Structure 1
Amino acid sequence: MNEENSRNLYDRALSVMPGGVNSSVRAAIEPYPFFVERGDGGHVVDADGNRYVDWVMGLGPLLLGHDLPQPVESAVQKHASNGPMFGAPTPIEVEHAEFVTRHVPSVEMIRFVNSGTEATVSAVRLARAYTGRDKVVVMQGSYHGANDSTLVEGEGTHVSPSSPGIPDDFAEHTIAVPFNDHEAAQHVFEEHGDDIACVLVEPVLANYGIVTPADEYHETLSDLCDDHGSLLVFDEVITGFRVGGLQCAQGEFGIDPDLTTFGKIIGGGFPVGAIGGKAEVMRNFTPSGDVFQAGTFSGHPVTMAAGLETLKFAAENDVYDHVNSLGEQLRRGLTEICADQAPEYTVAGLDSLFKVIFTRDGPDDLDGQCEAGCRQRTACPRYEYCPKNGGDVAAGETDRWRRVFWPQMKEQGIFLSQNQFESQFVSYAHTEEDVEETLEAYKEAL
């Protein structure tokens, strides 16, 4: 496989960008990443003309694939031709807000911003102001963007910033608990309930290997928040409008969070973030309240058009049936392959998310295991071995995944997420042929 142009581009990039990239995960592959020149349906073509089946899909935003359907493309072109942006409200942002509030059960009002990070930062600020409290509970290993309040490592109140440049004082207000650990959450609220502003949680750990919630886990968090006057904040930057369709993961799991953060699909592939939630809470944002939140590019008309038309297209066509069906085919096929070739590995995911986690141990007998991705079933023979939280995923063979497995898949023309932790995504542009090609590559690489 010729990679001369990518190698030369990376050499040039190292001189003008830290690490040669604008987001660190893109350089996770050694010795250098390939540079994408264009997308084509469910594929990407790199700067050397190599073609790959793309299961990264921009790390999640591209529900429809790289080729936008005509209604979406027309809307983007129309709003781009009207002018780049205006520093004033536009009709399309009202239409997009109305669509989201009609379909997501907990969202009565919404504020559009420019990234998932900006959404979570603003949601935490809002929760602290609304409750008059400072402490925030997060899941160990979860990622909520480049948020100084949530970039922590450690457990319970014994946490510290996970990046230089963040004052230790910031971490003093953050409490980290293991995902899916009912007792840990209850203990934290017993000790600090009167000081907790919110629990910030992904409904599915989707940036740390794909870990689904155990039975009643989110109900436990919701009850604890209700009992102690804290807010439950769902981070649906990844799962929003992918898991659970238009109702998002909160609809899938039947949970009614106080606030929800969005990103990725809600912008149709353009830069975006959003905070949605109960009107009583949301009205505390300026200008209707006192909690400052503003942004020059917030509600950008091109992004609003792309996001709204993407969701409308999904609502009016078979998008979710298609992507979820292919996702299940992938997970079922991978479950069979792993049972035969790597029985200790865990197949994870739901709807249009999928991943093989390189767990180190598994049961002797796989009879009765989850057939299309781990569901945390206590009756599953893998239950004692499958990841329950971020720490379990990190304990897997992460170096083998990145240094041995990923390059073998790339050589076969399959583009997977750059490490064991990021999700992989099915798009409307993918086909059954893409699934079969990918499964054959897994057989060879595993």
Structure 2
Amino acid sequence: MNRERSRDLYDRALSVLAGGVNSSVRATQPYPAFAERGDGAHLIDADGNRYIDYVMGYGPLLLGHDLPESVRAAVQSHMSAGPMYGAPTEVEVELAEFVARHVPSVEMLRFVNSGTEATVSAVRLARGYTGRDKVVVMQGGYHGAQESTLVEGSPDAPRPSSPGIPQSFAAETIPVPFNDTETLESVFEAHEGEIAAVLTEPLLGNTASVLPVEGYHERLRELCDDHGALLVFDEVMTGFRVGGLQCAQGKFDVEPDLTTFAKIIGGGLPAGAVGGPAEIVESFTPAGDVFQSGTFSGHPMAMAAGLETLRYAAENDVYDHVNRLGEKLRSGITDIVDERAPGYTVLGTESMFKLVFTRGGSEGVGDSCRAGCRQEPDCARFERCPKTGADVANAETERWDRLFRPAMRDRGVLLTANQMESQFVSDAHTEEDVEETLEAYKAYFE
């Protein structure tokens, strides 16, 4: 494939953009493919190369690159009426009503502009509502570029994961392993009356889609109830993708106290939200005392795009389609690596998928996990399947990043930037796209 224009654009970008990009994950090696346009389930780069796209904007594009006429018309209507007002609009009320009608735990929302802003606001709300300062997060989880959650280490020795974050901030955050209730129990015992919230993704979407083990979320719910802390689900990635309109909390049948949304809720435009019971969410100003505000919050074009995207998904069997193709992809990849690279593990659920280059072992996959690891105890691979962020980080990330992803790109399949990021199926993907993708996987492992 010719990539000269992308190379030249990256050369220009390095002179005027930090690292040549506006989001770190886009800086793929040796240089990123610059997007020219989308076409259904495909992305065409600046050199005219065409890829089956499983990045899908890192999750927002549930319907693919070509938005249905109803979505386009709604966005264009609001644009022609005036881009924004600094005043409430009917469409933000309609989107809030739609979300509250379908997501089990949500009575009331506050719209913001991104996933990061949603989690920042949720953490502040939890602290303000409970009068406590400490927040528990999962090692390997990601909750946006915010000071309270860019923290790594152990419960006894948290530390900032980036320069620019004071150690005093990190001291209020307690990182624990995902899927480890014993550590969380000991943390609550050690910090009785100090923990405002447990913040977790329902599955580790930013760490290759690791699923919870049976009973994990139920135990989180019990611990938070017993100790007066809020359970916060970060559904920025899983919201309106996993579990359909009920989101992942509906799939796992656990109701959090607060939920953060973004990505699909904006239909491809910048939007986010914090949702939960009215008693808690009304702690935000002006109803309560916890300050939260934003010039672009509830932007009418983003609200319209989100509302019409969700309406279209509800009325056109979108979830049946994307989940079926996701299962076909995971099953097909599982068959390929079982035969040719049995040490590797397929993760994900519904329309999310990821192949992780795990190390060691060659046990076959149990029948229950043929469409991706489900953390089934009776599977022969259960003990070594990834269960935490560290498990994924300890996989062969360099091999995935430097060899596998570029090889798949050369075969016309665009995957996310590294082994940690999940990949996504859209409504625009077809059976033929999946077959072509599986042939590319097969060719790599020959």
TM-score, normalising length: structure 1: 0.99
Q: Which residue does the alignment assign to 1:158?
A: 157
User: Contact conserved, 1:233 with 1:258, CA < 8 A, in 2?
Assistant: yes
Question: Distance in 2 between the 1:103 and 1:112 partners?
Answer: 17
* 1:2 partnered with 2:2: yes
2:46 is matched with 47
What are the residue-to-residue correspondences of 1:79-158 with 2, within 5 Å? 79-158=78-157
Runs of 4+ residues over 2 Å off in structure 1? 362-369
Q: Classify the secondary structure of the residue corresponding to 1:193.
A: coil
Q: Structure 1 residue 445: deviation in Å?
A: 1.6
Alignment of 1:189-338 (within 5 A): 189-338=188-337
**Cα pair 1:134 1:197 within 8 Å, conserved:** yes
| Post-superposition CA distance 1:195-241 (Å, at most 9, x none) | 00000000010001110000100011110000010000000000000
Q: Secondary structure at the match of 1:194?
A: coil
Cα distance in 2 for residues equivalent to 1:193 and 1:309: 45
Whole-angstrom CA distance in 2 between matches of 1:287 and 1:368 = 53
SS of the counterpart of 1:137? Answer: strand
Where do residues 424-439 of structure 1 align in structure 2 (5 Å cutoff)? 424-439=423-438
SS in structure 2 of the partner of residue 384 of structure 1: helix
Residue 96 to residue 369, structure 1, CA distance change in 2 (3 Å): closer
Task: Structure 2: state its 5+ residue gaps.
Answer: none
Opposite residue 89 of structure 2, the aligned amino acid is: T
In 1, Cα distance between the equivalents of 2:396 and 2:171?
32
1:73 aligns with 2:100: no
Shift of 1:193: 2.9
Alpha carbons 2:136, 2:198 under 8 Å: kept? yes
Q: What is the match of residue 180 of structure 2?
A: 181
Q: Distance in 1 between matches of 2:268 and 2:192?
A: 39
Map Cα deviations across residues 269-294 of structure 1 (whole Å, 9 max, x no partner): 00011000011100000000010000
Q: Contact 2:363–2:381 (CA<8 Å) still a contact in 1?
A: no
d(CA) in 2 for partners of 1:435, 1:427 = 11
Q: Alpha-carbon deviations, 1:343-396, whole Å to 9, x = none?
A: 000000101000001100234344546110100000011101110010000000
Aligned residues of 1:345 and 1:356 also touching (Cα < 8 A): yes
Matches of 1:229 and 1:157, distance apart in 2: 21
Separation (CA, whole Å) in 1 of partners of 2:322 and 2:368? 23
1:363–1:381 contact (8 Å) kept in structure 2: no
Unaligned 5+ runs, structure 1: none
- C-alpha distance in structure 2 between counterparts of 1:367 and 1:321, whole Å: 24
Question: Which amino acid letter does the alignment assign opposite residue 63 of structure 2?
Answer: L
TM-score by length of 2: 0.99
Q: Distance in 2 between the 1:32 and 1:261 partners?
A: 32
Q: Is the 8 A contact 2:209 2:347 kept in 1?
A: yes
In the aligned structure 1, how far is the partner of 2:380 from the partner of 2:22? 42
Q: What residue identity is the alignment partner of 1:10?
A: Y
1:306-335 deviations in whole A, cap 9, x for unaligned?
Answer: 000000001111100000000000001011
The amino acid across from 2:2 in the alignment is N
Partner of 1:172: 171
2:332 maps to a residue whose letter is: G
Who is 1:353 aligned against?
352
Give the superposed CA RMSD: 0.8
- Alpha-carbon distance in structure 1 between the residues aligned to 2:113 and 2:138: 24
Q: Given the superposition, is the C-alpha separation of residues 24 and 187 from structure 1 closer, same or farther in structure 2, using an over 3 Å criterion?
A: same
Over 3 Å counting, the alpha-carbon distance change for 1:365 and 1:103 in structure 2 is closer
Distance across 2 between alignment mates of 1:76 and 1:412: 35
**CA positional deviation for 1:30:** 1.2
Number of the residue aligned with 1:399: 398
Say whether the 8 Å CA contact 2:368–2:374 is kept in structure 1.
no
Deviates most, 250-259 or 150-159: 150-159
> Residues 369 and 381 of structure 1 are in contact (CA less than 8 Å); yes or no, is this contact kept in structure 2?
no
Q: How many residues align?
A: 445
Question: For residues 24 and 108 of structure 1, what CA distance do their matches in structure 2 show?
Answer: 35
In the alignment, what sits opposite 2:410?
Answer: 411
CA separation in 2, counterparts of 1:423 and 1:251?
20
Whether the 8 Å contact between 1:157 and 1:172 is mirrored in structure 2 is: no
Matching residue of 1:19:
19
Distance 1:193 1:73 in 2: 51
Q: Matches of 2:46 and 2:169 in 1, distance apart?
A: 42
Quick check: 1:345–1:357 contact (8 Å CA) kept in 2? yes
Is 1:377–2:365 an aligned residue pair? no
TM-superposed deviation, 1:157: 2.9
Letter in 2 for 1:420: Q
- State the one-letter code of the partner of 1:3: R
The letter of the residue matching 2:203 is: V
Cross-structure match for 1:37: 36
Give, in whole Å, the separation in 2 of the partners of 1:364 and 1:291: 52
Q: Is the 8 A contact 1:203 1:235 kept in 2?
A: yes
